[in-house]
Chain A
Amino acid sequence: MRYTILIVDDEEAIHRLLTRFLERVTRHTFTVHSAENGKKGVEMYGKLASEGHKLDLVLMDLRMPVMDGAEATRRIIENYPKANIYLFTAYARTDIESDALKAGAKGTVSKYSDWNWTMGTIIDILEGGMEVGRQRSENRSQKTEIRK
């Protein structure tokens, strides 16, 4: 299948790594858009949506300059309530995370050194809907099983 993903993160390296790992997934093809902060992310989402692109997943970092992930999530959901936003962060269980979840983010994909596991989670979200993704992201202990 073909999926369109928007990654909002102030780390350029993360954008590139995500693209590199997604390229390695053979059964799907991905179009990756990236924004370096929350404000740009909101603008990008609006631009892509107005151009008629369907965004399958938004991966939203939390701690970013100019506008943080919680605020950006709130603004996107405000205009596009069906936006499929997942938090992509090292800041698990923080106030800002819960703010973003309240604002409408569907779950959290933790940043982790094992990118195969991260990819597995992302693909689960895209294929199986948010329940599978959330379950997977919330229970890291199952990662070895899921990786099989």
Chain B
Amino acid sequence: MEKVRKRLVMTKEGKVFGLKVDDKLFALYCTIVACVLLTIFAEFVLHAQFVFTHFFYIPILLAGMWYYRKAVYVAWVLGVVHILVTHFSPLTLSTDVFGRVVIFSVVAYVIGYVSEMRAQNEEALRAQDESYRTFFRTSRDPIFVTSKDGRWVDFNDAAVELFGYESRDELQEVRIPDLYENPEERKRHTYFIEQQGFTKDFAVNLRKKDGSIVNTLITSVVRKDENGTVIGYQGTIRDDTERKRAEEELEKNRMNYLTLIENSADSIVVTGRDGAIRFVNPVAEAIFGRTSEELKGELFGFSVMSGQSTEIDIIRRGGETGTGEMRVTETEWEGEPAYLASIRDITDRKRAEEEVKEAYRLREYFLKETSHRIITPATIIGGYSQLLFESSNLDEDQKESIQIIRERNDEVQKLVSDALAGKYLEEGEEEGGNE
């Protein structure tokens, strides 16, 4: 056809009389020309011995099928040719001729109309089909259609990507059960699909080409034939790996924090705004001598002031008391505002401090008491030695002896006064500091 067209009438650009033509137009053109020639031959040579005009329906039908209602123009062209040829031929121009032209036009219109309608329907179907196909092909979620025996019927590019294969053909060769981490799992999966008719977000671990596992959620329905027999399955696959990993990461972080809190050397108590205990760690259980279950929900009993460090009295089980140093910060617990109180058991430190204070007090008491007890006799010795010294009946040796007693006594008193004033304490501390 192509060769013939080119050889007969076509220019290089595929134009006939300046019109761009394709195969259909060319065929139509040929049949019309054939019809015109047939008319001339029939009327001038044969004088219309047979109903040759039936051949006119060939171009009219073709035009109607290909160009729809434009077929009417072909009918008119052929009609005019028929009228003119008859008019110039020896035959008489009867009403039959005009009648035939009308019939050509009507047939052309009807065929054209019906063809157009059918073409429009086909176009609509095609467009719809195309949009489904596009959706199927471009969906980022892998979509699959499989047979009951575990072979691919269809799948999209996202599926190829999900399973990490190079091409559709490569994936096409893989049997469905082999795509499951555990091939037996497919039986369980299809059992559920068939039981319910569908599964929604069915968690399945699938195996990629490189052997790695991908966590997915599969939503699928059964495919049945007209008899209601299950012939396969179709649905979508959602890659859940990232979400699952994030969830695991979150859980890991949560566990880390929990471990930190659980292993904290300080006791940690979380209370709500209502003062009720929400959480206690093991150290807090030990410090209060009660279990977490016993403490949860109870009122904490200490006023919690954010940012302040306060000393609190701890009452353990059995009434034993202790001292805790509590720091409070605002926090959130299970999505609600809460207070986090960390309590350090300073009972031992406190006791040690008290003991040191008591030791200091005793030392001070001892020092003062001793000093004062020395001063009184020294005052008396001083008084009498002064009286002796100032009496007139002493020789020089005796006076010198008394003077030595007085001087030494003054020295003792000075030592004690200095000790009372804390002089030696300070010197001792300084020496200690210089070491």
Contacts and interface: CB of A to CB of B under 8 A. Distances in A.
Contact of B410 (A11, A13, A113): A113
Contacts of A115: 382-383, 386
B406 interface: yes
B419 interface: no
Nearest to A90: B375
A94 interface: yes
Contacts of B375: 90, 111
A49 interface: no
Contacts of A114: 382, 386, 410
Interface residues of B, number: 19
Contacts of B379: 14, 90, 111-113
A3 interface: no
Contacts of A33: none
A112 B379 CA distance: 5
A94 B368 contact: yes
A82 to B, nearest CB: 29
A14 B380 contact: yes
A90 B409 contact: no
A114 B409 CA distance: 10
A30 interface: no
Contacts of B372: 63, 90-91
A77 B409 CA distance: 36
Interface string B11-49: 000000000000000000000000000000000000000
A20 B387 CA distance: 8
Q: Chain A CB within 10 Å — which of B376, B383, B409, B413 has the most?
A: B383
Nearest to B383: A17
A11 B381 contact: no
Interface in B377-435: 378-384, 386-387, 406, 409-410, 413, 420
A90 B419 CA distance: 13
A17 B368 contact: no
B219 to A, nearest CB: 88
Q: Chain B CB within 10 Å — which of A11, A20, A92, A113 has the most?
A: A113
Contact of A113 (B387, B409, B420): B409
Interface in A7-25: 11, 13-14, 17, 20-21
A14 B381 CA distance: 10
Interface string B201-225: 0000000000000000000000000
B382 A113 contact: yes
B370 to A, nearest CB: 11
A20 to B, nearest CB: 6
B251 to A, nearest CB: 65
Contacts of B406: 113
Nearest to B378: A113
Contacts of A13: 380, 383-384
Contacts of A116: 386
B413 A11 contact: no
Contacts of B387: 17, 20-21
Contacts of B420: 92-93
A99 to B, nearest CB: 15
A111 B376 contact: yes
29 contacts: A11-B376, A13-B380, A13-B383, A13-B384, A14-B379, A14-B380, A17-B380, A17-B383, A17-B387, A20-B383, A21-B383, A21-B387, A63-B372, A90-B371, A90-B372, A90-B376, A91-B368, A93-B420, A94-B368, A112-B382, A112-B413, A113-B378, A113-B379, A113-B381, A113-B406, A113-B409, A114-B410, A115-B382, A115-B383
